[in-house]
């Protein structure tokens, strides 16, 4: 038997937080003896659309290496993607019966297609819900109504819904979605990515932030302002920033760095592979997770936080959403109020001045990733849950 993970909320084989969560599911299912295939449904141009990475088979049915100059050919390629996916799933089903399709998408066309495939193959359709379903439908009467309609359609088409937070479970229950459809799966991590020591990328002590480089949801400005306070007190070593960043956001970041006078102490990394990012993460002496308090933060759980904890290094995190359900300040990590750069600076300064103590705190944080956040444990729970549907 097999499981197909299909969606357009992640890219494969490289990607961001969603991609990392997909890998943890896939590796966990494989470890439990269930063959897993990951189907990327984005219209992404790439030289090698199919392959195996980290032991996981992946496919990108769009299958185009470069963008056609023809408007009609581009539309044809998008339609062809559905036919190729159907053929791929038929092949997988013949070899290993598909028992479930784990769908990751906000687009109704993808949601409907995945439902049709699940019905055709007699499989369960399991929806991934790791963000607020109405996050893009908050303004205007008709926009809110559209969001609710999409939400109910998505829930109706799903046999099961995996929610990354209790907030999302309650959100569905309050809107009369049946409890048996809902299953809480907190953030998952593959600790082996961060425990197998890789060569140190930088010679000196450095603070690391690795995630989206934005001034909105992941409020990088809070970190830069806090770091400038440390620099003024001569406590700041080097700050390393890595992650996706638009040209506009990068210009804003560089402007703030210049205004803070910390140009010589901040390094912004170019795009890196999953392996390279893991190398920077696991060798950071302090890791920081910044995030603004908003609707998205209340509903989700930052996957990069669990990845940081897996290193066993001291971790500082904004106290948003359900972070404090697992993290206890000064026991297994350090917490600060969101959007408070002075509080973050104080935490970083304390860790810097009491580093041996902070290392012990980091080791306690690592234990969480071998227990509640372990991909082995959570994937086994998901498989047991699918068996009850």
- 3-class secondary structure, 55: coil
The yes-or-no verdict on residue 235 having pLDDT over 80 is no
Q: Which long-range contacts (CB under 8 A, 24 or more apart) does 35-38 make?
A: 35/1, 35/2, 35/3, 35/96, 36/2, 36/3, 36/4, 36/5, 37/2, 37/3, 37/4, 37/5, 37/92, 38/4, 38/5, 38/6, 38/12
Q: How far apart are CA 357 and CA 347, in angstroms?
A: 13
Q: How far apart are CA 352 and CA 356, in angstroms?
A: 9
Whether the full predicted model's pTM is greater than 0.75, yes or no, is yes
Same domain, 281 and 359: yes
Q: Are 263 and 224 in contact (CB under 8 A)?
A: no
Same domain, 168 and 206: no
Same domain, 169 and 101: yes
pLDDT band at 223 (very low <50, low <70, confident <90, very high): very high
How many other C-beta atoms are found inside a 10 Å radius of the C-beta of residue 216?
A: 13
Read off the DSSP letter of residue 287: E
Same domain, 161 and 96: yes
Same domain, 174 and 106: yes
pLDDT (average), residues 241-254? 89
Q: Which residues contact 284 (CB under 8 A, 6 or more apart)?
A: 206, 207, 208, 240, 311, 313
Same domain, 322 and 246: yes
Query: How is residue 92 written in tokens?
Result: 């997988």
Q: How far apart are CA 48 and CA 126, in angstroms?
A: 28
- The pLDDT, as a whole number, for residue 87 is 97
Q: How far apart are CA 164 and CA 355, in angstroms?
A: 32
Same domain, 358 and 380: no
The yes-or-no verdict on residue 234 having pLDDT over 80 is no
**How does DSSP assign 120-187, residue by residue?**
HHT-EEEEEE-S-TTTT--SSHHHHHHHHHHHHHHHHH-SEEEESSHHHHHHHHHTT--GGGEEE---
Same domain, 132 and 25: yes
Q: How far apart are CA 274 and CA 18, in angstroms?
A: 12
Same domain, 215 and 362: yes
Same domain, 334 and 271: yes
For 246-270, b/e burial (b = at least 16 CB within 10 A) is eeebeebbeebbeebebeebbeebe
Q: How many domains does the chain have?
A: 2
Q: How far apart are CA 144 and CA 140, in angstroms?
A: 6
- The pLDDT, as a whole number, for residue 3 is 98
Rounded to the nearest integer, the mean pLDDT of the chain is: 92
Task: Provide the residue range defining the domain that includes 300.
Answer: 192-369
Q: Which residues contact 195 (CB under 8 A, 6 or more apart)?
A: 282, 310, 311, 312
Which one, of 207, 162, 169, lies nearest residue 188 by Cα? 162
Q: How far apart are CA 152 and CA 310, in angstroms?
A: 36
The yes-or-no verdict on residue 193 having pLDDT over 80 is yes
The percent of the chain in helix, strand and coil, each rounded to the nearest 5, is: 50, 20, 35
Q: Looking at per-residue confidence, does 170 or 17 come out higher?
A: 170
User: How far, rounded to the nearest angstrom, does the alpha carbon of residue 144 sit from its chain's CA centroid?
Assistant: 26
Phi and psi at 243, nearest 5°, equal 150, 180
- The pLDDT, as a whole number, for residue 372 is 87
Look at the block and give the residue holding tokens 């008709």.
Answer: 142
Same domain, 147 and 68: yes
Q: Which of 105-114, 215-224, 331-340 has the lowest mean pLDDT?
A: 215-224
How big is the CA angle at 365 (ends 361 and 368), to the nearest 5 degrees?
A: 150
Same domain, 216 and 350: yes
What sign results for the dihedral spanned by CA atoms 8, 276, 380, 365? negative
pLDDT band at 195 (very low <50, low <70, confident <90, very high): confident
Q: How far apart are CA 284 and CA 286, in angstroms?
A: 5
Which one, of 183, 266, 267, lies nearest residue 225 by Cα? 266
Where does the chain show beta strands of DSSP type E?
2-7, 35-40, 51-53, 56-59, 98-104, 124-129, 160-163, 182-184, 206-210, 238-242, 266-268, 286-289, 315-318, 334-336
- List the CATH number of the domain containing 59: 3.40.50.2000
- 3-class secondary structure, 270: coil
pLDDT tens-digit series, residues 130-163: 999 998 888 888 999 999 999 999 999 999 999 9
Query: How is residue 105 written in tokens?
Result: 């998408």
């Amino acid at each position: 038997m097999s499981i197909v993970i299909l969606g357009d909320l992640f890219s494969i084989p490289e990607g961001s937080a969603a991609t990392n969560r997909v890998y943890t599911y896939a590796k966990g299912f494989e470890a439990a003896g269930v063959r897993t295939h990951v189907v990327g449904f984005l219209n992404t141009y790439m030289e090698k659309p199919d392959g195996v990475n980290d032991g996981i088979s992946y496919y990108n049915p769009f299958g185009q290496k470069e963008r056609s100059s023809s408007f009609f050919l581009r539309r044809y390629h998008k339609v062809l993607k559905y036919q190729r996916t159907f053929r791929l799933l038929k092949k997988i089903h013949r070899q290993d019966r598909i028992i479930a399709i784990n769908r990751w998408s906000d687009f109704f066309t993808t949601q409907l297609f995945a439902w049709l495939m699940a019905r055709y193959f007699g499989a369960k359709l399991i929806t991934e819900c790791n963000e607020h379903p109405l996050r893009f439908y908050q303004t205007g009467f008709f926009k809110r109504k559209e969001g609710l309609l999409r939400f109910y359609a998505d829930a109706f088409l799903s046999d099961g819904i995996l929610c990354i937070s209790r907030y999302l479970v309650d959100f569905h229950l309050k809107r009369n979605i049946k409890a048996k459809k809902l299953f809480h799966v907190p953030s998952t991590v593959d600790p082996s990515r961060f425990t197998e020591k890789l060569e140190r990328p930088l010679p000196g002590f450095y603070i690391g932030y690795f995630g989206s480089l934005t001034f909105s949801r992941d409020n990088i400005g809070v970190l830069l302002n806090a770091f400038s306070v440390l620099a003024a007190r001569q406590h700041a070593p080097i700050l390393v920033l890595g992650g996706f960043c638009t040209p506009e956001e990068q210009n804003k970041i560089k402007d703030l760095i210049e205004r803070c006078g910390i140009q010589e102490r901040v390094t912004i990394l170019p795009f890196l592979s999953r392996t390279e990012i893991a190398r920077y993460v696991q060798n950071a002496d302090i890791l920081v997770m910044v995030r603004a308090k908003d609707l998205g933060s209340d509903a989700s759980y930052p996957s990069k936080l669990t990845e940081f904890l897996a290193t066993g290094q001291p971790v500082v995190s904004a106290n948003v959403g359900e972070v404090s359900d697992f993290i206890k300040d000064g026991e297994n990590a350090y917490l600060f109020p969101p959007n408070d750069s002075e509080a973050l600076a104080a935490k970083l300064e304390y860790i810097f001045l009491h580093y041996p103590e902070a290392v012990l705190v980091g080791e306690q944080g690592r234990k969480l990733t071998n227990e509640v956040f372990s991909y082995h444990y959570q994937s086994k729970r998901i498989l047991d849950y699918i068996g009850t549907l």
